[in-house]
Amino acid sequence: MTRPGDLLAAAPARKAPAAFDVERVRADFPILRQTVFGKPLVYLDNAATAQKPRAVIDTLTRFYEVDNANIHRGLHQLSERSTAAYEETRAKVRRFLNAAEDREIVFVRGTTEAINLAASSYARPHVGRDDEVLITTMEHHSNIVPWQMLCEEKGARLRVAPINDDGELLLDEFEALLGPRTRIVSVAHVSNALGTVNPIRRIVEMAHRRNIPVLVDGAQAAPHLKIDVRDLDCDFYTLSGHKLFGPTGIGVLYGKAALLEAMPPYQGGGDMIASVTFEKTIYNRLPHKFEAGTPHIAGVIGLGAAIDYLESIDPEGRAAHEQALLEHATRRLAELPRLRIVGRAKEKTGVLSFVIEGIHPHDIGTILDREGIAIRAGHHCAQPLMDRFGVPATARASFALYNTREEVGALESGIRKVLGVFR
Amino acid sequence: MASDLGDLYQEVILDHNRQPRNFGDLPGANRRAEGFNPLCGDRVTVSLTLEGDVLKDIRFQGSGCAISKASASMMTETMKGRTRAQAERLFQEFHRLLTEDSGAPDAASLGKLVVFSGVREFPIRVKCATLAWHTLRAALDSAHGIASTE
């Protein structure tokens, strides 16, 4: 169970408050206005990447048309403006995550790079032969492979906490796996393939009781839940800008300052140094120590615009809308013959994965595509999880704040078409 | 059903999907290869008995979408009794059928495999239709091969 308050609003299915108007939100996303194969686009692949509001697109254009310059070095006006916008975004992200300090926010390419950074700079010096790294069955490949690589290098062991048939983490088994050799826990806040919301606060409590730090993969949580890293008390938190209605190629690693301070740099280069001689280099202070080279400046500023946009929307109304939509879709699809929903956790957000008896998800995806409906069909970069459920793949509809009940209706009719083709 | 969908999911394809022919392990096979489509995680194993130059018997196993299953099933039917050279020619013809708009493939040699011409309109599905074929090639090329669509 997630504690109330982990979800933006643990609201039951009820009408969204007047303040949240999905049609107004939709009007902010230019891409949604198109037709695909003559049908209105129904975009239900938000867990793969979310669409961008006009505000983000305009900010990127404006940046390149007006402010573009390299940061942290130019003495000229443009560099001053781009540096200010870049660093203001760091402060925005800090507020968005409720981190204590700006220097705890490191810009990276995305969650994948954030996890690799933590694995490389934090875990590598701490993990030795026969030590253990603990993850869960529902992790994305990006939260499996970096740890696997590290364990292979060190002769350490990757331990995996199991889940139940509903796709919920088995907390007792998780706790039993926390041992004297466990050096770090890395766990998804929200599962990308199932939508399960993990009880992060309890996971962190269990780990911290044994002085084990916890990394939380927040790629799928940030677009749906209110994130408070101090309340969660996690040691690292990651997010990807493009799933948060921002640009691709930009993401965030949050780390507690004391941990980041003690970590060696991830990459060497410009911007991460205080001074360089051929004999010795003094590294820059946080967070610049971890931002070698010219960063994705436009991406960072675009991410800032995405956060501004999200914060301009009534959070309770939005959460209620999203939760009601997921519940509605779950009810409608559960009634369809031969269809089985994969992932029925009590706490879920954003994702509806399903399989249909005798029909491969790719065939479902192709037929829905011709109806203008974009879903994901495949293993969702979570092959071990697919193995756990005994399926090679699932079809996944994933929702964002701009999706509607009408679109759920289109999905349902589309699936009926699929059932018609494969009688 | 939209006509291009109808072209893709023709009755004969749906039939082979429901009841794949030559499905299962082939005891006594002397060639075997596994094919893998990293896009979807689908796997197929093609086993065959090669006698001299002739594909005496052939079977396939695995899970996949309707297109990949039907393609594998119909491939095994077509390949039984063919020589290696004939198999390679068919591979080429089949590939052209799926990918080339012009230069009509030799429909006569492909026989009922022409039902896969609808796949052309779904470029992302070409890999599904060719997985078993790549795997057959890998099986013919080496005693224990792994084929990938990538």
Q: What confidence tier does B145 reach under pLDDT thresholds 50, 70, 90?
A: low
Q: What average pLDDT does range A183-204 have in this prediction?
A: 98
Q: What confidence score (pLDDT) does residue B80 get?
A: 96
Of A215 and B107, the one with more pLDDT? A215
- Which tens digit of pLDDT belongs to each residue from B53-106? 999 999 999 988 999 999 999 999 999 999 999 999 999 999 999 988 765 566
Nearest-CB residue to A363 (from B39, B63, B65): B65
Taking the Cβ of residue B42 and every Cβ of chain A, the question of whether any pair is shorter than 8 Å is answered with yes
The answer to whether the Cβ–Cβ distance between B65 and A360 falls below 8 Å is: yes
Q: What average pLDDT does range B106-132 have in this prediction?
A: 88
Cβ-Cβ contacts under 8 Å, A414 against chain B? none
Kindly state the helix (H) or strand (E) to which residue A373 belongs, with its residue range. Answer: strand A373-374
Classify B3-148 by CATH class: alpha beta
Taking the Cβ of residue A38 and every Cβ of chain B, the question of whether any pair is shorter than 8 Å is answered with no
Cβ-Cβ contacts under 8 Å, B17 against chain A? 422
The answer to whether the Cβ–Cβ distance between A377 and B40 falls below 8 Å is: yes
In A98-212, where does DSSP find H-type helix?
A: 111-117, 124-126, 145-154, 171-177, 200-208
At residue B106, φ and ψ (nearest 5 deg) are -70, 85
Residue B59 corresponds to which amino acid? R
Q: What average pLDDT does range A359-368 have in this prediction?
A: 96
Taking the Cβ of residue B40 and every Cβ of chain A, the question of whether any pair is shorter than 8 Å is answered with yes
Q: What confidence score (pLDDT) does residue A316 get?
A: 95
The answer to whether the Cβ–Cβ distance between A361 and B40 falls below 8 Å is: yes
Asked if A191 contacts A138 with a C-beta cutoff of 8 angstroms, the reply is yes
Cβ-Cβ contacts under 8 Å, B1 against chain A? 417, 420-421
**Burial bucket for residue A269 (CB in 10 Å: 0-12, 13-18, 19+):** exposed
Cβ-Cβ contacts under 8 Å, B66 against chain A? 359-360, 363, 422
The answer to whether the Cβ–Cβ distance between B66 and A361 falls below 8 Å is: no
Asked if A347 contacts A7 with a C-beta cutoff of 8 angstroms, the reply is yes
Cβ-Cβ contacts under 8 Å, B2 against chain A? 37, 370
Kindly provide the ipTM of the predicted complex, given to two decimals: 0.88
Q: Is the dihedral of CA A135, A137, A142, A145 positive or negative?
A: positive
Q: What confidence score (pLDDT) does residue A7 get?
A: 45
Taking the Cβ of residue A318 and every Cβ of chain B, the question of whether any pair is shorter than 8 Å is answered with no
Cβ-Cβ contacts under 8 Å, B70 against chain A? none
* Residue of A381, A384, A404, A405 with catalytic role: A381
Kindly state the helix (H) or strand (E) to which residue A36 belongs, with its residue range. Answer: strand A35-36
Taking the Cβ of residue B118 and every Cβ of chain A, the question of whether any pair is shorter than 8 Å is answered with no
At residue A353, φ and ψ (nearest 5 deg) are -100, 140
Domains and CATH numbers, chain A: 22-33+314-421 (3.90.1150.10), 57-311 (3.40.640.10)
The answer to whether the Cβ–Cβ distance between A393 and B8 falls below 8 Å is: no
- Which tens digit of pLDDT belongs to each residue from A62-121? 999 999 999 988 789 999 999 999 999 999 999 999 999 999 999 999 999 999 999 999
Q: What average pLDDT does range A297-310 have in this prediction?
A: 98
The answer to whether the Cβ–Cβ distance between B63 and A366 falls below 8 Å is: no
Instruction: Pick left, alpha or beta for residue B24 (phi over 0 → left; psi -120 to 50 → alpha; otherwise beta).
Output: left
Rg over alpha carbons for chain A, rounded to the nearest Å, is 22
Our CA-based measurement puts residue A240 at a distance from the nearest CA of chain B, in whole angstroms, of 22
In angstroms, rounded to a whole number, what is the distance separating the alpha carbons of residues A341 and B32?
Answer: 36
Q: What confidence score (pLDDT) does residue A17 get?
A: 40
Taking the Cβ of residue B64 and every Cβ of chain A, the question of whether any pair is shorter than 8 Å is answered with yes
Q: Name the pairing type of β-strands A105-108 and A132-136.
A: unpaired
Our CA-based measurement puts residue A379 at a distance from the nearest CA of chain B, in whole angstroms, of 6
The answer to whether the Cβ–Cβ distance between A370 and B5 falls below 8 Å is: yes
Q: What confidence tier does A415 reach under pLDDT thresholds 50, 70, 90?
A: very high
Percentage of chain A with pLDDT > 70?
96
**Which strands form A157-161's sheet, in the order they lie side by side?**
A105-108, A251-255, A236-240, A214-217, A182-188, A132-136, A157-161
In the predicted structure, residue A314 carries a pLDDT above the cut 60: yes
In angstroms, rounded to a whole number, what is the distance separating the alpha carbons of residues B3 and A239?
Answer: 42
Of B104 and A191, the one with more pLDDT? A191
- According to DSSP, residue A356 is labeled E
In the predicted structure, residue A50 carries a pLDDT above the cut 90: yes
At residue A14, φ and ψ (nearest 5 deg) are -150, 170
In the predicted structure, residue A190 carries a pLDDT above the cut 90: yes
The answer to whether the Cβ–Cβ distance between A359 and B128 falls below 8 Å is: no
- Which tens digit of pLDDT belongs to each residue from A216-270? 999 999 999 999 999 999 999 999 999 999 999 999 999 999 999 999 999 999 8
Whether A151 is catalytic is no
Taking the Cβ of residue B85 and every Cβ of chain A, the question of whether any pair is shorter than 8 Å is answered with no
Residue of B3, B40, B69, B121 to mutate, interface with A, max A Cβ within 10 Å: B40
Q: What is the mean pLDDT of chain A?
A: 94
3-state secondary structure of A251: strand
Of A311 and B150, the one with more pLDDT? A311
In the predicted structure, residue A188 carries a pLDDT above the cut 90: yes
Nearest-CB residue to B41 (from A37, A379, A422): A379
First to last CA, chain B: 31
Q: What average pLDDT does range A399-420 have in this prediction?
A: 98
Cβ-Cβ contacts under 8 Å, B8 against chain A? 366
Q: Compute CA distances A353 → A214, A222, A378, A391, whole Å.
A: 27, 19, 10, 12
Q: What average pLDDT does range A398-418 have in this prediction?
A: 98
Taking the Cβ of residue A362 and every Cβ of chain B, the question of whether any pair is shorter than 8 Å is answered with yes
